[in-house]
A and B are shown apart, each in its own frame.
Chain A
């Protein structure tokens, strides 16, 4: 009977007594503390909000906004109109969309154990659009507990798509990346394209305009009530996902191992899909199909903080809000007075990033 002799791989020197021999990556030094990053991001988010409010066709300097906030100098009627009826709702909406997309990206990436999952890539956004279209075309007058049928159907569409993609991509406790991408692509294409059929049922033309802006990813100027409901839903979903972050860390070991460690895997999965879908639906209702934001933000946060989901949650939420505020401000000013839909701008930024990630991953995430 032969004794197996361990083969020492080239990347891991046999003499690792000091903990970090030359050339071996360790993960303690150089990593930012999450508290410092949260403080930094909160300050940055304030600055970006102010800058976004100041920027536009009519420039209102941050100093004017500050002075008005502190009560030194009231705004002119025009400035007040622009700030409170146009810019502030839109800037806040872009923040909510960014947070929603980034958080759902984080949840889906954890669920699939894969950094390329994002609500757009895996078809969850497409499902939400499809659900919302059914709502607009057939049930525009309906509401349940104050939520419009459109919003509820967007959530249902997102959740159903996720469940479908998940069941297609999973086999024997593993996620196949190729199946995940192809299933997401197929479902997304199917749903977004079938959304065009709803034009046929649209007599007034309003639905059509909403639909077009959704498909291009335009963040509109929402009513304050819509913003309020979205903010509450986003806050609820974030709080509900808090206990799931530790579970996502354990799920990274694989479903069977997580079960062995006492995790009720099915329950965790369903919770993640539902919360992720709610976040997607909130984002889609405000901004339509915005690609790759849910992919880039969690990924960059992971590069800075490591893969611990507990630390990633607040940072991802803040960074997502800031990222999309910046992108939307850019989208509405870059070709001023014309506007580019932020969804289209994101496709140009996110597409190359996605390809870079796919290339970098190569085989390491094929299980």
Chain B
């Protein structure tokens, strides 16, 4: 299999704080990878760099063997779609109008959407199961509905690489299962997937590769069996067993002060 996206020695600083250091990985075409790590480890930053919306401070990002910065924005947008955690619209656009924006990289400035664009939008609405919401106002949807619309927006781009930032957030368990089914379906269609995930149960059975981000550590990667071990996870997620008594002691201290 060929390498679709490659990050090589990527550094990124945010407000003087190093978020990513020496981050390197290859995404094989057709793979389905989960990005895990504790809050603030840099998962969102990594996805934004992979999507080409952020430039790394140093290191290189290449898409299909070409440096990302040398590829026109529209071409990147026809290859990669990033489904973000948050999406807030300025006006009362309907779901259909929002998903139609996914066709932006395929539409010229003056030409309106054509037949292929309408088919792609319908298919995206259908796959993300939001066809019934198409005339609803996006800003008035619930968190779970918005999440599905965001995924439809990403699918309307017909990307070869789909990046998802915590796609299961706000989804009830039934919708989570649907999402995982959708990821399996997309993978079967040949779409490469990289999703940041919090729920490690879902990662275990459904992803081919796990990328683990820990603060101050280089990115580690391997199969779910290799990566999802208690020893690795406890260290990466900074949850040592002696933390709990410390909290109790601190709470006791506050209680005494309050008296």
- Enumerate chain A interface residues (CB-CB to B < 8 A): 1, 3-9, 11-12, 16-20, 24-28, 110, 112-115, 242-243, 246-247, 249-254, 256-264, 302, 306-308, 310, 364-365, 367
Q: How many inter-chain residue pairs (CB < 8 Å) link A and B?
A: 141
Instruction: Using A252-B89, A253-B98 as known contacts, list a sample of 4 further A-B pairs with CB atoms less than 8 Å apart, ordered by residue number in A.
Output: A5-B173, A249-B93, A259-B53, A310-B112
For window 182-209 of B, CB contacts with A under 8 Å fall at 198-201
Those of B120-149 within 8 Å (CB) of chain A = 132-137, 139-145
Residues in A with CB closer than 8 Å to B72 are 262
Given A28-B135, A113-B91, A243-B109, A12 and B141 touching (CB < 8 A)?
yes
Which of B142, B169, B200 neighbours the largest number of chain A CB atoms within 10 Å of its CB? B142
Q: Are B82 and A260 in contact (CB under 8 A)?
A: yes
Number of interface residues of B (CB under 8 A): 58
Residues of B within 8 A of A306 (CB): 92-94, 97
| B77 surroundings in chain A (CB, below 8 A) | 260-262
Q: Which of B100-108, B213-221, B242-250 contacts A (4 or more CB under 8 A)?
A: B100-108
Q: Contact residues of B with A, CB < 8 Å?
A: 48, 51-53, 72-78, 81-82, 84, 87-94, 97-98, 101-102, 104-105, 107, 109-110, 112, 132-137, 139-145, 157, 168-173, 175-176, 198-201
Q: How far is the CA of A257 from the CA of B101 in the complex (A)?
A: 10
Chain A residue numbers with a CB within 8 Å of B176 are: 3
- Chain A residues near B98 (CB-CB < 8 A): 253
B75 to chain A, nearest CB (A): 8
Main secondary structure of the interface of A (DSSP, over half): loop
B104 and A3 form a contact (CB under 8 A): no
CA distance A18 to B48 in the complex (A): 36
Complex: A306 Cα to B143 Cα, angstroms:
23
Q: Are B110 and A243 in contact (CB under 8 A)?
A: yes
Which of B51, B139, B157 touches A364 (beta carbons < 8 Å)?
B139
Residues of A within 8 A of B105 (CB): 261-262
Q: Which residues of B contact A19 (CB under 8 A)?
A: 132-136
Q: For A112, list chain B residues within 8 Å (CB).
A: 90
Q: Which one, A28, A302, A367, contacts B88 given CB within 8 A?
A: A367
**A233-B137 Cα distance, complex, nearest whole Å:** 36
The answer on a CB contact under 8 Å between B104 and A250 is yes
Among B53, B93, B112, B145, which residue has its beta carbon within 8 angstroms of that of A252?
A: B93
CB contact under 8 A between A7 and B109, given known A253-B89, A261-B104? no
Which B residues are CB-close (under 8 A) to A310?
Answer: 112
Q: Of A6, A243, A257, A308, which is within 8 A of B170 by CB?
A: A6
Among B76, B84, B110, point to the contact of A257 (Cβ < 8 A): B84
Closest CB of chain A to B172's CB: distance in Å? 4
CB B216 to nearest CB in A, in angstroms, measures 24
| Given known A3-B199, A260-B82, A263-B73, contact A27–B135 (CB-CB < 8 A) | yes
